[in-house]
Each structure stands twice: as structure tokens, then as C-alpha cells.
Amino acid sequence: MTVKNGTSFYLISGTDWIQHEVYGDLVNGRDFSTRHAAIEAYRKFDEYLGWFYNQTDDNTLFYVISDHGFNDREGLVDINTYLDEEGMLTKERGASESEFNMRQLRDDGDDENKSITLNRLGPWLLSHDRILDVARTIYRPLKGVLPFELNPRPFRPNFEETVAYSPRSGCWGIYINENPRFHDGIVSTDEYEQVRETVSDLLESLQTEEGDPVFYDIQTKEERYSGEFADDAPDLTFRSDTYHPRSFLDPGVLEEKEHNGHGYEGILICSGEDVCNSDRDSADIVDIAPTTLAYLGEPVIEDMDGEILEDVITLPSEIETRKPTPANELRDHFNHNEEHNDVENRLKELSYL
């Protein structure tokens, strides 16, 4: 728990790990070997929340927040395979997912001799998502000293012939391979809008065997984002309540395989004497920060995302604002912050940096 200036923060992450494994089984009432342990874990989490709540008085504003919910989607959709079939992507053998995931941050000259394909282990890992995640977590701190690169995938996009691609599994976005945004981009600035519209139409037209659309809420980055770094976002974003996105270039676009993944709707529960009887039925995760700052009497940054939930919590009559701190001043602050440096050094010792 972090305590500062009369505030405290407590994180429970175990619920996320459990739900990735057994959410579909739990909500559908199935019997499975670890059902009792999962339910007991939730009881424990509830006890922890109850303990913290009981330590507060009516003068304390108490939040329970989740930044996402969960969904047992019925299948997987391979975005890059779909783009390949529609002539928007060309695949080639070799290279790991992580290589093209971060390609916009890297130069040419990767040592291809370090990349190996694990012919037997790779397909097995790909069919066990959580085990693959654990394997990658173990591998990342060690990869700098290993004489090879873990590559459980047989294909990657050939960017010299690829118009659009998804950077990684679990990404709800597509990048247009534009030049000069990417050093090996092939889509010119003049072609960009037409290409993006074509890819958007492809997403909109993809249907299940029953004729239902796979994706909805397809938006450009300008529609979805704003601010100084909006140009770094995927060129198109989308949602699906029935299929989870993958980008492995496996055979077939749609695979019927239940996937326990993040849902779009989280929760916000507020308690305390300053909480109003509001008829509001929704809020956004980005509303929490400006609302909390205003409640504590701290200045709210002028261009901060989100709205202040004045109909949910009784706030001071006058809400102060301030201009954002320039990025170079923030860097200087953290560069000379002893606590920050200690954390950074420890992460380096653990090979995370």
C-alpha cells in the first residue's frame, strides 16, 4: 500500500489472473478441479476489501475501481491472416512476434542468425495462451545472455510488401505501413487515407458463419485519441464481444475456441459522506484522476483527460487548475529523484531494464 498526503492505494491483481484461467467456467457454472480454490480466493479478496473499508470513517472517500471487466469470448480471430488473405499483408518465415511488435522503435540490422523456430514446442505453446505468457516472462530477463532468440511462430509480415498489419496478439488495432512513419513503409502519404478506408471496410465486412459481424466500433486514431502523442496510436481501432484478436499468421481467420479475456466495462463504487445520490449510469477510467485531485483540493491539470464527476462527489466550490508540467522538467525531476533511481537500479539488477 502507498500512503501519501492522506491518500492510500491498494491493488488486488489476483482476480485478473484467476479470471484469465477460469472465468468462462465460473460464469457458466461448470465443474472443474480448481473451482473451490477460485471461489475461496474471491472470498479472501472480499475480506481484504471489507477490512480496508472498516478502517475508514464517513469522512473518508472510499473507491473500488476496476479498469476493465471480463468476457468469455467464443473464439479467436487472426487479424494478420485476414489481412494476408485480402492482399493487404505478405507473410514470410522467421522472426518472433516481439520483433515486429516493436519495429517502429528499432533500426535495421537485426541478427537473423539468433532467431530459431521451435518446431514442436512452438505450436504447443501457441495453443496454451497462459503457459506461453509465463514462458515469455521467464525468457525476457534471460534473452540477453542466451545464444538464441525464442521464436514459437513460423511466420511474420514481410514489411517490404505489407500494407497493413496488427503488431501483436491482444491488440485491438491495425497499423498502416506508411512511409515515413516506418523506415520500411510502403504506403505513401497520398495513398494513406484510401488504404485506411479499405482496411476499415475489410474489418466491417468480416462475418461469422451465421452472418454476424465480428467487429464493431471501428474508428480512426483521430476519432479515438487526442493529444500530443495521438499520432503514435494504431491507425484503426476496433472492438469485438465474440472474438479475441491474434496476430500469429496461423491457418484460418476464425477459430472457435473459448477465450477468457478483458471486457470493456469495469466498475466504480464510491462510498463516504461526500458521495451524492447520482443517477449517473457510467463513467470513464480517466475521470478518476481529475475527480480525485479536485476532491483533495489539488490543482487539476488543464489538458487532463476525463471529466470531473461533480454529480457523483461533493467537491470544493472552487476547483483550481494549473498548466501541465513540461516533459523536460518531469524528466529532470525523476532523474534527480533518489527513490526513483533506487527503483530503476533494482529493476536493472533484475534484468527488467
278 and 347 inside one domain: no
Spatial contact of 67 and 15, defined as CB atoms under 8 Å apart? no
Q: Which of 13-22, 96-105, 109-118, 272-281 has the lowest mean pLDDT?
A: 109-118
218 and 305 inside one domain: no
Domain C-terminal end among 257, 272, 306: 257
195 and 132 inside one domain: yes
249 and 118 inside one domain: yes
Spatial contact of 9 and 2, defined as CB atoms under 8 Å apart? yes
253 — phi, psi (to 5°)? -85, -50
**If you search the block for the grid coordinates 471461489, which residue do you land on?**
39
Q: Give alpha helix (H) positions in the chain.
A: 14-27, 35-54, 79-85, 97-101, 121-126, 129-142, 189-205, 221-224, 288-295, 327-335, 338-349
Interval 327-351: pLDDT, tens: 778 777 767 667 777 777 877 877 7
Q: Which of 36-45, 52-61, 99-108, 266-275 has the lowest mean pLDDT?
A: 99-108
328 and 273 inside one domain: no
54 and 8 inside one domain: yes
111 and 215 inside one domain: yes
* Domain total in the chain: 3
207 and 353 inside one domain: no
Alpha carbon distances (Å) from 27 to 30, 46, 221, 330: 8, 18, 34, 45
241 and 296 inside one domain: no
Domain C-terminal end among 257, 279, 295: 257
Which range marks the domain in which residue 298 is found? 2-72+262-321
101 and 244 inside one domain: yes
Q: Rounded to an integer, what distance in angstroms lies between the CA atom of residue 267 and that of residue 282?
A: 9
Q: Which of 106-115, 148-157, 257-266 has the lowest mean pLDDT?
A: 106-115
Q: Rounded to an integer, what distance in angstroms lies between the CA atom of residue 300 and that of residue 308?
A: 9
Category of 297 on φ-ψ map: left (φ > 0), alpha (ψ -120 to 50) or beta: left
**Element of type H or E holding 157:** strand 155-157
User: DSSP string of 193-231?
Assistant: HHHHHHHHHHHHH-B-TTS-BS-EEEEEHHHH--STTGG
159 and 223 inside one domain: yes
60 and 202 inside one domain: no
Amino acid (1-letter code) at residue 244? H
Mean pLDDT calculated for residue range 205-210: 94
| Residue 105 banded pLDDT, cuts 50, 70, 90 | very low
Q: Rounded to an integer, what distance in angstroms lies between the CA atom of residue 12 and that of residue 141?
A: 25
| Residue 50 banded pLDDT, cuts 50, 70, 90 | very high
Domain C-terminal end among 233, 257, 281: 257
Quick one: pLDDT at residue 349?
A: 79
Angle at 104 between CA 98 and CA 108, to 5 degrees: 85
Is the per-residue pLDDT at 104 higher than 50?
Answer: no
Is the per-residue pLDDT at 72 higher than 70?
Answer: yes
